[in-house]
Structure 1
Amino acid sequence: MTIDDIITLLKEAASEKFKTNIIKLGIPAEHTIGVPTSELRKLAKKIPKEKDFLLALWQTGYHECKILTVLALKPKDCTDEDINYLMDGIISWDLCDLFCKNILIKQADFDRFIQRWIDSEDLFYKRAAFTLIASTSTHASLSSEEIKNYLSLIEIHSDDDRLLVKKAASWALRELGKTNEEAKELAINTAETMQKQDSKAKQWVAKDALKELVLLVQAPGRSRLISAKSKMGKEV
């Protein structure tokens, strides 16, 4: 299968309706074909998995090709140079989050990206740092000290008015709070502290996170807390 073959398959699976949805994410019309992610996941299983091929696919500039690259790329094949190159080509929140969850969180020392990018001025590098914190709580067992350290990072670095950053910071705060009852209390305390600060961005993040944090409950057989509004949560 060649890159031209892949683009042909993508165009055959495209729809104008979905292309419009992608453009709403901020992707320029000339950089999208209009293919649902569900179809991309199927195609990703069939395309070559060699890194050089996938990087060439990324270089087409099409949003769908970049998603295919992230879905098919092997995390162990990625060097820091590759990761920085790919991050520089991300211009939408969905691709940023997919990259974090498919590639970055599976790196041996993913925490270095959080520490390196959490105070970045670049929109998607900073969002990636918060997305990784959110993903960390579901990917690995965190100690109380690690949870406290991540909560501290959220409190310090969520003074950013950009909506995509605020949403990721709120997400990270909520996901940490779902770890266990202790983490829930720590997350709520962090949010309440942020609400009292002068930063409008921090107040927004705290208010948004508290909507879910205060509703978290422990359900039988579940290691993480869930919302009391969920079907299982209503039974608790």
Structure 2
Amino acid sequence: MIGPSSDVAGIIAHLETLRSEENISGMARFGIVTDGAIGISNPDMQKIARTIKRDHGRALDLWRAGIREARMLAIYTADPAVLTPAEARGWSEDFASWEIVDTAADLFVETPFWQQLVVDFAEDDREFVRRTAFAMIAGAAVHRKDEPDDTFITYLPLIEAHSTDPRNFVRKAVNWALRNIGKRNRTCHAPALKLSEKLAASSDKNARWIGKDAVRELSGEKLLARLRG
């Protein structure tokens, strides 16, 4: 059995008892990098995280283990109030899968320095590090409800600047960030839709795809009704 007092070795030993080659194959079909994977589903990983509870020091050690499931547990059990910018940037050096990136982005937006990370990660040319910036914007637009709307509106030029990045995991995150800003509320909707329409008319095929997809969602009757309400 594992619990709050379990060490890294004990946790990894427990994870190995749950190994599933079938799940590993399934993950690969969804584009999840399975190097070092044990094959445990995220709902099961979240149950394990609740069992072992938050422990920031142990989370850092779990990350260093280099195993997919250990790293997911590291993200789930790290403390955003204690996490340092250097630790977050250190983790980003290992980013190689959209799943890890998007999960870590949820943790990073809970930190007091999340906006600086967005700037730093967007400037980084590595595909999964840059994706992190836009996954963070997308997550923050939904979860940081007390954040001023201007925070998100001021990210629109950053979205436009990277809308021509042709790499799949970047352009999908840029699109995601744009759509989530537009869906946040009426204040954010208008400028996000305006940018979406601009990108939809771009001569760049990547920007055009991002814009057209965002326009389609931000012009939907269901969304417009919610925003009017």
Fold in common (TM above 0.5): yes
- Whether 2:82 is the aligned partner of 1:59: answer no
C-alpha contact (below 8 Å) 2:85/2:117 kept by paired residues: no
Which residue of structure 2 lines up, in the alignment, with residue 217 of structure 1?
224
Pair 1:74 & 2:79 matched: yes
- CA 1:93–1:80: 2 relative to 1, 3 Å: same
Q: Per-residue CA shift, 1:167-212, capped at 9, x if unaligned? A: 1111111111112224222211101111222222111111222221
Bigger mean CA deviation after superposition, 184-193 or 69-78:
184-193
- Determine the C-alpha separation between the residues in 1 that align with 2:203 and 2:133: 23
Report if aligned partners of 1:48, 1:54 keep a CA contact under 8 Å in 2.
no
C-alpha change, 1:77 and 1:218, in structure 2 (3 Å) is same
Report whether the alignment pairs 1:83 with 2:93: no
Listed one character per residue, the Cα deviations across residues 24-81 of structure 1 (whole Å, up to 9, x for unaligned) are 424244x100000111111112226433322222122110100000000111121111
Structure 2 residue aligned with 1:204? 209
Question: Do the aligned partners of 1:22 and 1:32 also contact (CA within 8 Å) in 2?
Answer: no
* 1:13 CA drift (Å): 2.3
Are 1:75 and 1:104, in contact at CA under 8 Å, matched by a contact in 2? yes
> Which residue in the other structure is 1:128 paired with?
132
Q: Does the aligned pair in 2 maintain the 1:49–1:74 contact within 8 Å?
A: yes
Task: Give aligned pairs, total.
Answer: 220
Q: 1:141 to 1:48 in 2, by over 3 A?
A: closer
C-alpha displacement of 1:15: 2.0
**Mapped partners of 1:48, 1:191: distance in 2:** 41
Q: Secondary structure at the match of 1:169?
A: helix
- Percent of pairs identical after alignment? 26
1:170 pairs, out of 166, 169, 175, with: 175
For 1:27, give the aligned amino acid.
V
TM-score after normalising by structure 2: 0.88
Name the aligned partner's letter for residue 224 of structure 2. Answer: V
Distance 1:28 1:178 in 2: 33
Q: Gaps (5+ residues) in structure 1?
A: 220-224, 227-235
1:27 equivalent to 2:33? Answer yes
Residue aligning to 2:111 = 107
Q: Distance in 1 between matches of 2:174 and 2:25?
A: 28
